[in-house]
Amino acid sequence: MIFEVWAPKATAVEVDVLGGRRPMEQRQGGWWRADVPEAGHGTRYAYVVDGGGPYPDPRSRRQPEGIFGPSAVYDHGRFTWSDEKWTGRDLRGSVVYELHVGTFTQEGTFEAAVERLGHLSELCVDFVEIMPVAPVPGGRNWGYDGVDLYAVNETYGGPDGLKSFVDACHREGIGVILDVVYNHLGPSGNFLHPFGPYFGGFAGSFWGEAVNLDGPGSDEVRRYFIENALQWLGDYHIDGLRLDAVHALHDKRATHLLAELSAEVDALACAVGRPLSLIAESDLNDPRMVRSLDAGGLGMTAQWNDDVHHALHTAVSGETHGYYEDFAGLDVLAKVLTQGVVHDGGWSSFRGRAHGSPYTGVPGHRLVACVQNHDQVGNRPAGDRLPMPALKLGAGLLLTSPFTPMLFMGEEWGARTPFPFFSDHVEPELRDTEGGRREKEFDGFGYSWEAPDPSDEQTFLHAKLDWGELKEEAHWSLLCWYRDLIALRKALPELSDPRFDRVRVSYDREDGDWLVMWRGESVCVAVNFGTETVTLPVRASTVLLAADDNVAAGPDGLRLPPQSLAICRAVQGPDI
């Protein structure tokens, strides 16, 4: 077994393995190497750098004793895959389902999540997107405090557990997207500093120190993250990565890390013979994020689009505080449905400046949109979800829109369980101040901050989905609504068409009660947000799907009860 580690500034490095410390030989480029023939799969080891440590391997494939314990040798070749016929999934035309492994089931493991894949298959989603799985402090966490980025949280089932989950998803015809965090590492258990210049020495974001992507020594730091991405896509057969908060990546080099990563992933996709997706979470509203490399872009397959969420949320909930202030009014919802974004270079009151750029020529499938996700639920103080009536309307618009729609676990049946922020830091100073840090992060968002203690185990336990809710008629009815919407989206090409020039929107400019979205020439989605029945001059030949049994199509137009939505084959009336 050959042990290798990058430590360019060290004068001596040892590997602590099999009960003793063995000196390592310095090689070119700051790498150190030692051959230990008697070591193999499962062998515990750690590194000693200039007498300090022992530390886990920065590229540790397994941390069986957690982030403060030794690493373990992990042989990827020992796992037996059964997905040899899997040809992958294209993000275009797909529906994504986001979940957190620890709260998706009561057990909180990959193995338990496999038992629920039948539910997702019947829902007809194409991808599951799992929140980060890197080891974290303690036994519970959202995942964005991860360290040991090449390893898999043992609480969930470790590396074999993740592989079994991916294998099972592929058997169900479902692709897997993994959420990864490359803009920072967690504040606890981060042992990269002794090894090399992994960090830039300044605060990159609210969450931690900036990663060194463009300073001295950054060549190997960039490879650390790129090879991590390739590991998930290659060794774990994962179909795509969601890259957390890429706007917090500080990179002034001529070729941005994302462009370099995109080129590497494209090459890997050619080698493995299946599509591989990169989805960026970006607050920049910059269309270059999703333009191809040969068009001067960064080559991301898609990006999360918060503008769609905010416009939908405001329309169905009535909330206009904080950043929702810019999204009030059906004119804003009409703009985002027909142009992709709201902030396209104009004024953003929340930021106090102009923001964004027009997404001219960008198809809707490159923008991942939602009514709920882990951020938009979990960033509310109590982690509360939208009520069922709001979900019905929001989902009706989302799943008939030109975007790539994404659902958040439990949304499809109107789960009552909250999803607040939770963590389990080991150090008392981090544990005791976590709530205060969280409140400070959202200062100015317009919330009255009354949140459960993120360090309290009950906060985590209350976030676990209650699958028993599906036995209740109201929850089952909403699930049927989501199933029907997804089935209709897949049956009608107009509903998955990503071209914004094929979308037309009319809306009530006086009272703001109704909106009609035309998809193609003859499919319309009509919504009544108000509290009174309205009749719209839409000549509907067929009501394809309705959220209320009292929706009626007649000679005078389309009759919509309060808080209802209908999808119709229709002809646009003269007054709409």
DSSP state letter for 561: -
Give the closest residue to 393 by CA, choosing from 254, 515, 529. Answer: 529
Look up residue 484 and give its two tokens: 């029907």
Identified catalytic residue from 281, 307, 494, 497: 281
| Strand partners of residue 31 | 6
Residue count of the chain, please give it.
576
Residue in 496, 517, 495 with CA at minimum distance from that of residue 337:
517
User: Can you give the C-alpha Rg of the chain in angstroms?
Assistant: 25
CA nearest 96: which of 330, 317, 305, 292?
A: 305
Instruction: With residue 258 as reference, give the H or E element that holds it.
Output: helix 257-272
- CA–CA separation, 50 and 9 (whole Å): 10
**Is residue 313 packed enough to be buried (19+ CB in 10 Å), middle (13-18) or exposed (0-12)?**
buried
What's 393-447 look like in SS3?
HHHHHHCCCCCEEEEECCHHHCCCCCCCCCCCCCCHHHHHHHHHHHHHHCCCCCC
244 is catalytic: yes
SS (H, E, C) 179-241: EECCCCCCCCCCCCCCCCCCEEEEEEECCEEEECCCCCCHHHHHHHHHHHHHHHHHCCCCCEE
Residue 423's nearest CA partner among 440, 435, 415 is 435
Joined together, the tokens standing for residue 381 give 């103080």
Contacts of 141 by beta carbon, 8 Å cutoff, 6+ apart: 102, 422, 423, 424
d(CA 109, CA 299): 33
Alpha carbons within 13 angstroms on the beta-carbon side of residue 334 total: 16
Catalytic residue among 126, 145, 244, 260: 244
> Can you tell me the distance from the alpha carbon of 346 to that of 44, in angstroms, rounded to the nearest whole number?
56
368/280 Cα distance (integer angstroms): 9
576's tokens: 């709409």
Strand pairing class (175-180; 240-243): parallel
Distance separating alpha carbons of residues 246 and 253, to the nearest angstrom: 15
CA dihedral sign, ordered 328, 331, 337, 340: negative
Give the N- to C-terminal CA distance of the chain in Å, as an integer: 72
Residue 120 near residue 168, CB atoms below 8 Å: no
Question: 351: Cβ–Cβ under 8 A, 6 or more apart, which residues?
Answer: none
404-408 and 503-507 beta bridge pairing? unpaired
- For the question of residue 172 being annotated catalytic, the response is no
Q: Which residues are catalytic?
A: 244, 281
